[in-house]
Amino acid sequence: MKPIKAIYAVLGSGGIGLALAKELETRTKNIILVDNDAAKVETLKEQNLNAVQGNIGDNEILSSLDIQNIESVFIMSSDIEANKKALNFIRKKAPDVQIVTRVNTYQEKEEMEAAGADLVVLPSNLPIKAIASAIVQYIEKMKSVKLAQDLKKLISTVGEGKLAIIVHDNPDPDAISSAMGLKEIANSVGVKAEILYRGIIGHHENKAFVNLLDIEMDQSKDFKASDYKKIALIESSVPGVNNLLPPGTKVSIVIDHHQANLEEVEAEYIDIRPNIGATATIMTKYLQELEIPIKTELATALLYGIKVDTNDFRRNTDPADMTAAAYLFPLANHDILNRIEAPSKSTESIDILGEAIKNRQIKGSYLISNVGTIRDRDTLAQAADYMLTLEGITTTLVFGLSEDTIYISGRSRDDRINIGKILTDAFGADKAGGHASLAGAQIPLGVFSGTKDKQTLLKLAEEAVVKRFLTVIGMKKETN
């Protein structure tokens, strides 16, 4: 018999069992119910629940569950003897699985606890729905505390050594604040930690963020894994992929909220939650569960990280992001937060914006603009953002020249367009990258960089960029 895969198993689908399944269903569809009553199993199936018929005291039916991969088992039948048998069998097979069981008397409660149940429920005369929801909240809390404690335990094994906290290249506020949070956890167990990154901290907001909050982190030029007892990877999950670690480096901790191919992720501790809007949310939860006081700077940083990644709770937001933000809100410095969110614009960025407006070419809903020579690359991103607010424009491409490289910034608010893919298709995956709504590219001028005449250089750049872009979006036929 093929093992039955599920996250939760509910054994016995009487009143409480069914109420539990309904409560769990709001979180996942990966639930399996087992009940002895064939008619009841049919009814459950009618309600779109995943149910099998069998006696829960029967080892054969229990063996058919893929118990090692189940997170929690709820043994809820009214037959306490059968519950006991099931508990003993499952506990022996899976020492780590979380088991909740149901009894009728205090004496049975003690027996079940002695036999290894994590939570024993003695049904009261509360409404069944309330009991079910309290049980689910309790087990979630237990899981969350255990996760945080496992992390803390692992970090404390660094002892006198050092923990390296590596964030993704060109780190954003979510990555930076999460790294600060992890450093705080390390501090709480007396472990020294260093936050390391590669690339630049771009955007005026991000620079203001690092400056105003006095964040300590190093741009690592020559990282040596052997200098550190353990390595944690934040907002990135595979060494060498968008981070400074050489591929194959042994990593101990991975904490991220980006979808990852779990077969490629290797670490003693892995917490990847793609449903969550920001890693800062995960980090806030750890700090909460470990009862580590969150200082003003850290609270401000984490709150900003969540706000940026969820675009002020408008994008990829999970209720957990809201809960974390609500927890951080009274602890954060809102004055600093306002200053980070509205940094004063540099003269250059206003000049570049002027150039972008003056030199705009509009093709349908696309806007392309060459701003000439730039010093600060961020000004391109700002101009590309700003131009997107023009009426009728849903995609912008702004580019400029700095020394011997053309820098390009693209933005789109058209759901049908993936600007990251467009730039990658136009300029190659080694020169471009980004997401559906935001992307960038940098093209070394190579042979042309010897040209002394800036005007000629700019004209060449413009021809190359505009032509490639229009070809890829299908507005110009490839001519060569």
Q: What is the C-alpha separation between 7 and 21, in angstroms, rounded?
A: 12
**The dihedral of CA 125, 126, 129, 133: what is its sign?**
negative
Q: What SS3 state is found at 199?
A: coil
What's the min distance (Å) between Cβ of 465 and Mn ion? Answer: 29
Phi, psi for 74 (deg, rounded to 5): -110, 115
Q: Which of 306, 241, 239 is nearest to 267 (CA)?
A: 239
- Nearer CB in complex with Mn ion: 14/433: 433
Q: Name which of 174 and 289 has its Cβ closer to Mn ion.
A: 174
DSSP state letter for 447: G
Stretch that binds Mn ion, among 75-83, 129-137, 301-309, 405-413 (CB under 5 A): 301-309
Residue 306, CA distances (Å) to 178, 318, 324 in order: 10, 11, 9
Nearer to Mn ion, 16 or 176 (CB): 176
Number of residues forming the site for Mn ion (CB under 5 A): 2
- Please give the residues from 160 up to 199 whose contact with Mn ion meets the rule CB under 5 A: 174
Using the rule CB under 5 A, is 256 a contact of Mn ion?
no
Which among 439, 432, 426 is positioned nearest to 476, based on CA atoms? 426
Q: How far out from the chain centre does Cα 171 lie?
A: 14
Q: What share of residues in the chain are helix, strand, coil (percent, to 5)?
A: 45, 20, 40
Which residue, 54 or 171, has its beta carbon nearer to Mn ion? 171
Measured from the CB atom, the residue of 174 and 321 that comes closer to Mn ion is 174
Nearer residue to Mn ion within complex by CB, 84 or 307: 307
Which single residue brings its beta carbon nearest to Mn ion?
Answer: 174
Smallest distance from the beta carbon of 304 to Mn ion, in angstroms?
Answer: 12
Residue 275: CB minimum distance to Mn ion, A: 13
Rounded Cα–Cα distance for residues 457 and 439 (Å): 24
Cβ atoms of 301 and 173 within 8 Å: the answer is yes
Query: CB-wise, 174 or 462, nearer to Mn ion?
Result: 174
- Give the 3-state secondary structure of residue 435: coil
The angle subtended at Cα 142 by Cα 188 and Cα 69, nearest 5°, is 115
Smallest gap, in angstroms, from Cβ of residue 280 to Mn ion? 7
39, burial (CB in 10 Å: exposed 0-12, middle 13-18, buried 19+): exposed
From residue 305 to residue 324, the character string flagging contacts with Mn ion as x (rule: CB under 5 A) and all else as - is ----x---------------
Of 277 and 400, the one with the shorter C-beta distance to Mn ion is 277
d(CA 237, CA 244): 12
Report, in Å, the least distance between residue 279 CB and Mn ion.
5
Residue 167 β-bridge partners? 234
- Binding segment for Mn ion (CB under 5 A), chosen from 21-29, 128-136, 222-230, 302-310, is 302-310
Q: Smallest gap, in angstroms, from Cβ of residue 201 to Mn ion? A: 15
Subset of residues 115 to 134 that bind Mn ion, contact rule: CB under 5 A: none
Q: What is the dihedral of CA 110, 116, 119, 124, to 10 degrees?
A: -30
Nearest-approach distance from CB 311 to Mn ion, in angstroms: 11
86 vs 272, which CB is nearer to Mn ion? 272
- Interface residues with Mn ion (CB under 5 A) are 174, 309
